[in-house]
Structure 1
Amino acid sequence: MSEQRVAQRLAKFGIGQVVRHNLFDFRGVIFDVDPEFSNTDEWWQAIPESVRPSKNQPFYHLLAVNGDSHYVAYASEGNLCVDDTGQPLCHPQESLLFDRFENGRYLPKNRLSN
């Protein structure tokens, strides 16, 4: 194996954790983590340059809510902070990925292995 291996990045947040976006008014629960940016260049270029985050950090897939709307979001670690409200979200897809909300976080569903 080459010595130019990419160092594994440690994510600050974990699956099931509820976070808040620092720039945009939404909360979300993390359901997947990329160790660095792993979306399309088209998506990247759509972000205004003045607020475009570095690609060299973990990015999170979120079930997000903002007021009455719900969606799937992709956000950089630097744009997220812990949501300390202790309140669950109201996202229609949360029951597909998580069993329940307990002690301020979502517990992932157990997956059956083949």
Structure 2
Amino acid sequence: MTRPVSARFGLGQIVRHRSAGFRGVVIDVDPVFAGRPGDTGPISPDQPFYQVLALGSDGGFMAYAPEDSLEHDPELSTLTEDAGQRFFTIDASGHHAPLSQAIH
């Protein structure tokens, strides 16, 4: 029987990678690892994995990180309204969806 998975971080939330030290904004969430079996090495694939648009001094890059590697960024919690509108559609309740996907 499959156990329900609940993501700790939501779209538009700013997170920090515990070991790599980068911070970025969550732009997509997979309930479990979406790659090939065995590609996570010692990291459990049975946890949410996040597409994170990482912010760096040389610009941005995409990271695919497991939930266990991410933490809430105490310095920043969410995007500014202008930055959020650049990456997401946002409904009246504040729910985010990538610009390429409709909000259900």
TM-score by shorter chain over 0.5? yes
Q: What residue is the counterpart of 2:47 in the other structure?
A: 57
For residues 60 and 112 of structure 1, do their structure 2 counterparts lie closer, same or farther at Cα, with a shift above 3 Å needed?
A: closer
For 2:71, what is the secondary structure of its paired residue?
Answer: strand
19, 26, 29: which one aligns with 1:23: 19
Scaled by the length of structure 1, the TM-score of the pair is 0.64
**CA–CA distance in structure 2, aligned partners of residues 67 and 96 of structure 1:** 19
Q: Percent identity?
A: 33
Unaligned runs of 5+ in 1: 100-105
Highest CA radius of gyration, 1 or 2? 1
For residues 41 and 12 of structure 1, do their structure 2 counterparts lie closer, same or farther at Cα, with a shift above 3 Å needed?
A: same
Matches within 5 A, 1:12-91: 12-40=8-36, 44=39, 49=41, 52-86=42-76
Q: Deviations over 1:56-88 (max 9, x none)?
A: 111011111122231111000000000111275
**Counterpart contact for 1:33–1:60, Cα < 8 Å:** yes
State the one-letter code of the partner of 1:74.
Y
Report deviation, 1:27: 0.6
